[in-house]
Every structure is written in structure tokens, then in C-alpha cells.
A = this chain, B = another copy of it.
Amino acid sequence: MTDSASPEPQRRRVGFAVVGLGELSAEELIPALRTSQHAYLAAVVTGEADKGRAFARAAGLTDQDAYTYGQFGDLAGREDVQAVYIVLPNNLHRQYTEQAARMGKHVLCEKPLAANTEDAEAMVRACREAGVKLMTAYRIQYTPHHWAARKAIQSGQLGRVKLLDSIHTQVEDDPGAWRLSREQAGGGPLVDVGIYCLNTLRFLLGQEPEWVYAAQHQPGNDPRFKEVEESLSFMLGFPGGVIANALTSYGAVKTDTVRVLGEKGSALLDPAFAYTGLKLSLTDAQGETIPKFVAYDQFTLEVDHFAECIRQDRQPFTPGEEGVQDHRIMDAVYRSAREGVRVELERSGSQDRFRTPENPPKLP
């Protein structure tokens, strides 16, 4: 093994503060910032000063780059921190986003955008009024795999699409997890993992559902599901009679798939939402094709997109509005599940209504 290129300098890259140092930050986001073309880690924010300093040093930063939640406002004085990446429990998204906006920092916020639609809408407003950008961190809208699937679907390669099917389930074992708290999470598996099904189906079609029907199950005797549903099934009606089914759960083993059935062909993503190892299979009369993509890191692509939006003053492909729309649909899903009736949604004919199709991500 001989020497390869050394890392690029940080000139002209966008400095990020990562707010919240959970598993996702530690294992995915901070490493992603390390390999980013356009962004770099400039600061970390967490609850415990010690932990923050340890992370900072491990990432090649100094003790001065570690902030406690109480010191979040001090980032105002950090000119090199142009953006914050919010990786906190859902009910804290609004507060930190609003504060960041007031400080003039751009906001990349983990999904779901908030703990409820009202908060999500407030976040969009706050960022708009402050003149900062807000991006919903929907990583599947930034990968070559999902874009190849979208292209196959929208180009007519599968013929007219008729039906879709998606599943995202996993087991949540810890009864004390904040994800099982209605107040902190705003819902159960739907808002955390089922949102991938919803979001991906909408992204692949580029269209909005017109109605929804849902059913859920919340076992009476399981300490984990005192506040939120364990399992939920929903059916979406898209324009033109296209129907999609979806399943989500915190009580069933990890499964993540999307299947799209057209008159001439079909697409299967399985796994569809994993951090690595995504597989797309396209089948038509000629056979099955499994396209190959250059290796990439999903989080790096997402972060790079936002960094470029900031540098070029462009709206991200998945702005806050895209996150708000999923909240509206999830509201309808929960209402349907509660009341046992089909719920109509506002109809919109335009393609990619809540996205920024003129600014798609650059694919590697």
C-alpha cells in the first residue's frame, strides 16, 4: 500500500454544529461530515460537557468546540458555524430550530420534522422569516438507488404504475425509549419508521395521496406501548387510481421494502431504507436488472446537498415544506386509524409539489 491523497483543506466548506450526540450522530453523521466535499464538523452540542469534549477531541476539534445544550446560544458568535444539524428528540426540533434561525444559522433537521404539524409549520415560518434555509433530512431522497427507482417509474420504463407496497418495521425493545413517549416523539412507529414508506412512495411517484385509510394495534398489556401504537397499516389513494399499501411496526423484526408494480415491469427496493447495502431490482419482459452504483455514503450526500444550497443560496430539494406535508398525511393516517374511516386529503395536481425539482441533488 502506498500513499494516497491527503484530506482536502476546509476552505470554502460549510461549518456544521451537530446538535445531539446519539448513536446516529456518532456512527453516521459525524463520520459523514468527515468525508464530505462541502461540509465539515465545526462544533458539537450535547447534554454533558465531558461527553461533548470527548467527541470534539475524537473529531479533531478542541474543547472550545464542545457546547452544552445550555450554551447553544453561544453558537451565535461562531461565524464558522453556518449550519446546525438537529438530531434531538422530535419535540425539541421546533425550539432548537427557532433559536438557530434567530441566530442566523441554517437548519438541517432530522425526520420527522417535528412532533406535530403545528410545530413543523412554525419551524418553516421561523426559518423563512429569519432568512435561513430549512431542510428536512430525508436521506432516501438523496441516494442514487432511490433516484434510479424514481427514474424507472417516472420514465415509463415499468409502463403505467398501478400498485405500490412498502414495509418498514423494527423491534423497539426499551420501554424507556423516548421514541415510545407520545410527548417526545409525537407518535409511534409511524412517525419514526413508517414515515420512510410514506416519504418514499410520494418521492417515487412525485405525487401526493388523495385519501388515506389506516388501522393500528396498541396492545393493552405491553409496557412499551402505553402511549403509542405498536403496529399500523395504511392505504393511500394516489391520482389516477393508483393505490399503495404500507405496514409499519415497533413490534416486528426489521424489514424494509418498497415494491412498485406497473403494467410492463416492476421495481423492488429490498432493503429499501438501510444505511448500507441498498438493493434495487428492476424487472420487465426482458428479465431482471440490478443496477450497480459507485460506493457512496447516504449521509454525506445529504449533508453535501445542504452545504451546496447554503453556498449557492438555493432551496434544498426537501425543504421544510416537504416535512410538513408528511405531518399532514400522518395526522390523517392517525385520524383514520382512530375513527375507522377513510380520510380525504387536499388534492394537488402538480408534480413534486413540496420539493424543489429545479434543484435536485447531485448524484455521485
Given contacts A3-B46, A171-B263, A286-B292, contact A252 B163 (CB under 8 A): yes
Complex Cα distance, B251 from A351, in Å, reads 24
Complex Cα distance, B249 from A263, in Å, reads 10
Are A55 and B6 in contact (CB-based, < 8 A)?
A: yes
Contacts of A242 in B (CB 8 A): 217
Q: A163-B231, A213-B342 are in contact. List 15 more A-B contacts (CB 8 A).
A: A1-B87, A3-B47, A4-B26, A6-B54, A7-B54, A160-B251, A162-B231, A162-B251, A163-B169, A167-B259, A233-B235, A233-B243, A245-B247, A255-B266, A287-B291
Q: What are 28 inter-chain pairs, A to B, with CB distance below 8 A?
A: A1-B110, A2-B22, A3-B22, A3-B46, A6-B21, A7-B55, A58-B60, A159-B253, A163-B169, A163-B249, A165-B245, A165-B247, A167-B261, A231-B241, A233-B244, A233-B245, A243-B247, A245-B245, A245-B246, A249-B261, A253-B262, A253-B284, A255-B259, A283-B292, A287-B289, A288-B290, A288-B292, A340-B342
Given contacts A46-B3, A165-B165, A288-B289, contact A241 B253 (CB under 8 A): no
Complex Cα distance, B20 from A4, in Å, reads 9
Which A residues between 1 and 42 are near B, CB-CB below 8 angstroms?
1-4, 6-7, 20-26, 31, 34
